[in-house]
Structure 1
Amino acid sequence: MSPSFDTELLKELTETSGVPGYEDRIREVVRRELEPEVDRIRTDSMGNVVGTIEGDSDTEVVVAAHMDEIGFMVRHVTEDGFVQVDALGGWDARVLKAQRVTVHTDEGDLTGLIGSPPPHTLDEDQLDADPEVEDVYIDLGLDGETARERVSRGDLVTLEQSTELVGETVTGKALDDRVCLFAILEAARRIDDPEVTIHFAATVQEEVGIRGAQALGFDLDVDLAIALDVTVANDVPGFEPGDHVTELGDGTAIKLKDSSVITNPKVNDRLREVAEEEGIDYQIEVLPAGGTDTAGFQRFGGAAPVGALSIPTRYLHTVTESAHVDDIEATIDLLAAVLETERAEQSYRL
């Protein structure tokens, strides 16, 4: 099945680097794609990008997705030339063995390897040990002197992976949250002469505490906030149905809660009503743990009503994050339909 959307742009978004606080490369792509679709665009001192389409009323809406991906910062280069790192975002160190990485230096990118010793050379304690990010060593294939000349403390590291179509899914690194950035960009292209003013926000530093969205919650005075992020799809062997959270291929997910937010019931009802009117597949998300930019706007936006759309994704925070093409399309369709039909008289007051 061939997706109806621009897979080349999605590939560029997911493969471009941008760890928390250093979203420069991905920010350039977002600005390039968003600027032709909006009336004005700005970047704040944290690096958030906001593109605005002016509406015919005083009502303002923000839709947001974060630009940053989980990664690392160099903390030390050993005398033998191995690089040690500090985590930027939530990593399970078990997934890091035998991965290829990119070390971003002032003089250019370097490829490195997180090696894994042959299991038959390890003793029982080593085999049973739970790895930590602090235990990671990146092999640059360079001697110690050269490595220390090329790599400095504070350089950034991202995992290296291409984005591919696998069956009916898109898989790669940084679908969290670039696939939702993609959805916002695609929705912006469809919006023409809205009644309400719409701010399309690409936020920073979500992976280290939804910091960019919190800042925008102060800076933007909106009547409605909708955040987009990926969510857990544990619909794989080893999980009971009650622990799946969402299912790939069942549609976009309307979030009711996670550990950071309980979304506005009237916003949820509106999302459901539009989905049903437009024949867009959707599912309900009740996420036991984790948080998104939604909480930033709810807590710091002056009691703004919030809602959230999520794209079900398997294998989160790995280089094989996977989302179903139908769910991506459903998310774009629902977001665009909601924005196109939002009216000034719509009330979400409880």
Structure 2
Amino acid sequence: MNQSSKEFLVKYLNNASPTGFESSGQQLWLDYIKPYTDNYFTDVYGSAVAVINPDAKYKVVIEAHADEISWFVNFITEEGYIYVRRNGGSDHQIAPSKRVNIHTKKGIVKGVFGWPAIHVRDNKSEEAPSLKNIFIDCGCSSKDEVLEKGIHVGSVITFEDDFTELNDRYFVGRALDNRIGGFMIAEVAKRLKENQQQLPFGLYVVNAVQEEIGLRGAQMIAQRIKPDVAIITDVCHDTASPMYNKIVSGDLKAGLGPVLTYGPAVQNNLLDMIIEVAEGKEVPFQRASASRATGTDTDAFAYSNEGVASALISLPLKYMHTTVEMAHQEDVENVINLMYEFLLQLPNEHDFRYIK
């Protein structure tokens, strides 16, 4: 990874983009990808699309989602303590003792998720963290003081943790799910430009919003683009780390390559083509299966319009929906390379139908 790519990755991952409030991250992403594409557009809820060959009839999408899980201010006590509700799949069990940023129109207000000391708790009937008891302390002594800082019911809250690296092997931080995907699809566009590769079709590089609360951004943008093909990248669980049941969740490990998923939403002819590319270019990959749905934006694209040939290329991730999500650097490179090589060999106006 070159220096400009690394600098963007760090800046992009450290920026907060909570579900419904993604605009600052989307602007960073657009500023980075614009030099490598022909034009761009956005929709009313903030999904951003950079386009190569916008006049082409055949449309191919590579997509990731931009939003991260977060919290909302839900109740402020007279003493100035803040109780919260989820914005996406935020984990109440990891909240106590975490530092937070409360986003207001006056700027960021610092706070912490407080918790009583271990030696004053009754271990026999110890109450576990839950949405009923976790709270934020921003150093205020009254509700009025909290309100004066610009905090109100509905203010969004993110954890403060930033990007780091472990053992020159892993990227670590909050919200790799799935801004690391936004980074990877931008790198595909960058690689096409730097290698002077000309595609015969239109390429729509899509960074969608609001995936964490039900694939909403992908649903909206798929209806607008009406693509012929969609390759989605998201994260999946590394099940080699402790406390996973491989019988239930599959056998997947960070460092062994991208994960290709089988399931009803995945178009099999498209998946077979991706596998052929991976094998031909010696890109390592793993396999997973999904039941009724993949749980990713793949479902939104596959079932949009009259049906879109769609497939999912996942990045194995440790400790999803925590502040220490971990992705193997080689997997990141291999996801980028697999998408890039797939695009180079995709024939223009290829018909993926099973029966013709």
The verdict on a shared fold, with TM-score over 0.5 as the criterion, is yes
Q: Secondary structure at the match of 1:101?
A: strand
Matched, 1:313 2:317: yes
Change (3 A) 1:126 1:7: farther
Q: Secondary structure at the match of 2:303?
A: helix
1:130 is displaced (CA, Å) by: 4.1
For residues 46 and 19 of structure 1, what CA distance do their matches in structure 2 show? 13
For residues 285 and 11 of structure 1, what CA distance do their matches in structure 2 show? 29
Partner of 1:274: 277
Q: Please say which of residues 195-204 and 132-141 is displaced more in the overlay.
A: 132-141
1:131 is displaced (CA, Å) by: 2.9
Q: Secondary structure at the match of 1:311?
A: strand
Partner of 2:299: 295
**Alpha carbons 1:245, 1:286 under 8 Å: kept:** no
Q: Which amino acid aligns with 1:229?
A: D
For residues 209 and 244 of structure 2, what CA distance do their matches in structure 1 show? 32
For residues 306 and 56 of structure 2, what CA distance do their matches in structure 1 show? 20
**Alpha carbons 1:245, 1:287 under 8 Å: kept:** no
Q: Secondary structure at the match of 2:86?
A: strand
Q: 2:202 aligns with which of 186, 197, 202?
A: 197
1:160 is displaced (CA, Å) by: 1.0
For residues 193 and 216 of structure 1, what CA distance do their matches in structure 2 show? 25
Task: State the TM-score, normalizing by the size of structure 2.
Answer: 0.92
For residues 42 and 349 of structure 2, what CA distance do their matches in structure 1 show? 30
Give deviations 1:57-86, integer Å, cap 9, x for gaps: 521111111111000121222211111222
For residues 35 and 132 of structure 2, what CA distance do their matches in structure 1 show? 43
**Alpha carbons 1:55, 1:193 under 8 Å: kept:** no
1:56 is displaced (CA, Å) by: 8.2
Partner of 1:225: 230
Q: 1:334 aligns with which of 315, 335, 338?
A: 338
Partner of 2:131: 133
**Alpha carbons 1:56, 1:195 under 8 Å: kept:** no
Q: Secondary structure at the match of 1:114?
A: strand
Q: Secondary structure at the match of 1:307?
A: strand
Matches within 5 A, 1:36-185: 36-54=35-53, 58-124=57-123, 126-127=125-126, 129-144=127-142, 145-150=144-149, 151-167=151-167, 168-185=169-186
Q: Please say which of residues 202-211 and 240-249 is displaced more in the overlay.
A: 240-249
Task: State the TM-score, normalizing by the size of structure 1.
Answer: 0.93
Partner of 2:243: 238
Q: Secondary structure at the match of 1:206?
A: coil
For residues 219 and 95 of structure 1, what CA distance do their matches in structure 2 show? 38
For residues 141 and 234 of structure 1, what CA distance do their matches in structure 2 show? 40
For residues 54 and 141 of structure 2, what CA distance do their matches in structure 1 show? 59
For residues 301 and 38 of structure 1, what CA distance do their matches in structure 2 show? 26
Q: Secondary structure at the match of 2:352?
A: coil
For residues 36 and 84 of structure 1, what CA distance do their matches in structure 2 show? 43
Q: Please say which of residues 199-208 and 292-301 is displaced more in the overlay.
A: 292-301
Change (3 A) 1:38 1:4: closer
Q: Secondary structure at the match of 1:237?
A: coil
1:126 is displaced (CA, Å) by: 4.9
**Alpha carbons 1:58, 1:344 under 8 Å: kept:** no
Give deviations 1:16-64, integer Å, cap 9, x for gaps: 1111111111111111112111111011111110111007852111111
**Alpha carbons 1:231, 1:310 under 8 Å: kept:** yes
Q: Secondary structure at the match of 1:323?
A: strand
For residues 94 and 294 of structure 2, what CA distance do their matches in structure 1 show? 19
Partner of 1:10: 9
**Alpha carbons 1:63, 1:184 under 8 Å: kept:** yes
TM-align CA RMSD: 1.8
For residues 142 and 227 of structure 1, what CA distance do their matches in structure 2 show? 44
Change (3 A) 1:126 1:106: farther
Change (3 A) 1:92 1:265: same
1:303 is displaced (CA, Å) by: 0.9
Q: Which amino acid aligns with 1:165?
A: E
Q: Which amino acid aligns with 2:160?
A: E
For residues 157 and 55 of structure 1, what CA distance do their matches in structure 2 show? 37
Q: Secondary structure at the match of 1:349?
A: coil
For structure 1, the residue ranges without an aligned partner over 5 or more in a row are: none
Q: 1:255 aligns with which of 232, 252, 261?
A: 261
For structure 2, the residue ranges without an aligned partner over 5 or more in a row are: none
For residues 245 and 204 of structure 1, what CA distance do their matches in structure 2 show? 29
For residues 43 and 241 of structure 1, what CA distance do their matches in structure 2 show? 40
Segments of 4+ in structure 1 off by > 4 A?
Answer: 287-290
